[in-house]
C-alpha cells in the first residue's frame, strides 16, 4: 500500500516477483494502489470509475469490497471529497466504550458517568 517510491530495492524486487507469478495479485495490487491514491489525495470524484474497474476484473474479495462501497456511494464519496471529519466524535465514542467495558458489572452507572465527564 505504500507508494512505490518509498519501497526499498529488495521490497520492490520481491513485489515484482509476486506480481509476475500471479496475474490476480497484479490486478489487485494495481487497484489497491489506485484506491490508496484516491484516499490519500481525496479524489472522491474518481471513486465510481474505480468501483466499475474493480467490479469488472478484480479478484472476488476486491469485487465484494467494491460492491460494499457502491451500496453507500454517497457517504463514501463525501468522505473522500469533503474536508469534514467525524474522527473526533468517533474517538470519544471509542473511549466511552472502552471505559464501559472495563467497568462492566463492577461499578454503578453514576461512576461511569463521572469518569466520562471528568476525562479530557
86: CB partners within 8 A, 6+ apart: none
User: In terms of C-beta density within 10 A (0-12 exposed, 13-18 middle, 19 or more buried), how is residue 2 classed?
Assistant: exposed
Summarised one tens digit per residue, pLDDT across range 2-28 is 778 888 999 989 989 999 999 899 999
DSSP for 7-48, written as a single string: S-HHHHHHHHHHHHH-HHHHHHHHHHHHHHHHHHTT-GGGHH
Question: Does 47 have pLDDT greater than 80?
Answer: yes
The pLDDT assigned to 83 comes to: 84
User: In terms of C-beta density within 10 A (0-12 exposed, 13-18 middle, 19 or more buried), how is residue 112 classed?
Assistant: middle
3-state secondary structure of 91: helix
Question: Does 120 have pLDDT greater than 70?
Answer: no
Question: Does 56 have pLDDT greater than 90?
Answer: yes
Question: Are 98 and 119 a contacting pair, CB within 8 Å?
Answer: no
Summarised one tens digit per residue, pLDDT across range 57-115 is 899 999 999 999 999 999 999 989 988 878 888 888 998 888 888 888 788 888 888 88
Supply angle C-alpha 81, 48, 27, rounded to 5.
110
Query: Once rounded to an integer, what is the mean pLDDT over residues 33-59?
Result: 93
Amino acid at each position: 500500500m505504500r507508494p512505490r517510491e518509498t519501497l526499498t530495492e529488495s521490497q520492490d524486487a520481491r513485489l515484482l516477483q509476486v506480481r509476475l507469478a500471479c496475474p490476480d495479485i497484479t490486478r489487485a495490487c494495481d487497484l489497491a494502489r489506485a484506491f490508496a491514491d484516491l484516499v490519500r489525495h481525496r479524489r472522491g470524484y474518481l471513486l465510481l470509475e474505480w468501483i466499475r474497474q474493480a467490479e469488472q476484473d478484480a479478484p472476488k474479495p476486491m469485487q465484494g469490497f467494491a460492491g460494499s462501497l457502491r451500496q453507500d456511494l454517497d457517504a463514501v464519496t463525501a468522505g473522500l471529497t469533503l474536508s469534514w471529519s467525524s474522527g473526533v466524535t468517533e474517538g470519544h465514542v471509542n473511549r466511552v466504550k472502552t471505559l464501559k467495558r472495563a467497568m462492566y458489572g463492577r461499578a454503578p452507572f453514576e461512576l461511569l458517568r463521572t469518569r466520562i465527564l471528568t476525562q479530557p
